[in-house]
Amino acid sequence: MELSDEKKQLIEEVGIHLEERANLSPLASRIYALLILSSYDGMSFEKIVNTMQASKSSVSSNINVLLQLHFIEYYTKPGDRKRYFRTSDFYLKNTMEQQAHSLEKALRIVQKVNHFNADHNPEKFKKERSMGSLYESHLNEQIERINHTLTEIEKLKQ
């Protein structure tokens, strides 16, 4: 029931990272980190409550968020009412898809900004155009790379 110090600290570190990158609440981040660092068998709701020292209600709502985002999944054992949670099979794929969306959104914004400045602040646009287009093509490249990797992951799945 007690975690090693090494694991505790790693949960904290990964948790903070997830908070920042995935916009999850602190507890959701810690739970997700815990499951990332645990065996593929997963953990029961109760065990998560005890390990995290958090209330049942907090764990319940945060687990539901993680389920909705498809970051985790659950399974049941015959003759056992409990649900067992684990990281979803392809959570790295989800992470990358989110990154792709975020980059695409960034690209759309940059394009809008450049367009607006070309129309309304021509002097500024001229000054920044070369860097702006460099940035645009950089974003395009990154999106391409990510999609490429996603198709490779798709192959792995089969």
Q: What is the longest distance spanned by two Cα atoms in the chain? A: 72
For residues 32 to 61, the per-residue mask of contacts with a copy of itself, x marking binding by CB under 8 A and - elsewhere, is ----xxxxx---------------------
Q: Sign of the C-alpha dihedral, residues 66, 19, 91, 41? A: negative
Does residue number 21 form part of the binding site for a copy of itself (CB under 8 A)? yes
Helices (DSSP H) in the chain: which residue ranges? 5-22, 26-36, 45-52, 56-68, 91-120, 122-157
Q: Which is nearer to a copy of itself, 1 or 156 (CB)?
A: 156
> Residue 28 or 139: which CB sits closer to DNA?
28
Should residue 128 be labelled a site residue for a copy of itself when binding is judged by CB under 8 A?
A: yes
Q: Residue 30 and residue 43: Cα distance in Å, rounded?
A: 14
Name the binder of 50 from a copy of itself, DNA, none, CB < 5-8 A by kind. none
26 binds, among a copy of itself, DNA, none (CB under 5 to 8 A by kind): DNA
Residue 146 CA to residue 107 CA, distance in Å, equals: 14
- Cα distance between residue 154 and residue 148, in whole Å: 10
SS3 at position 117: helix
- Under the rule (CB under 8 A), what is the footprint of a copy of itself? 6-7, 10, 13-14, 17, 20-21, 23, 36-40, 90, 92-93, 95-96, 102, 105-106, 109, 112-113, 116-117, 120-121, 123-124, 127-128, 130-132, 134-135, 138, 141-142, 145-146, 149, 152-153, 156
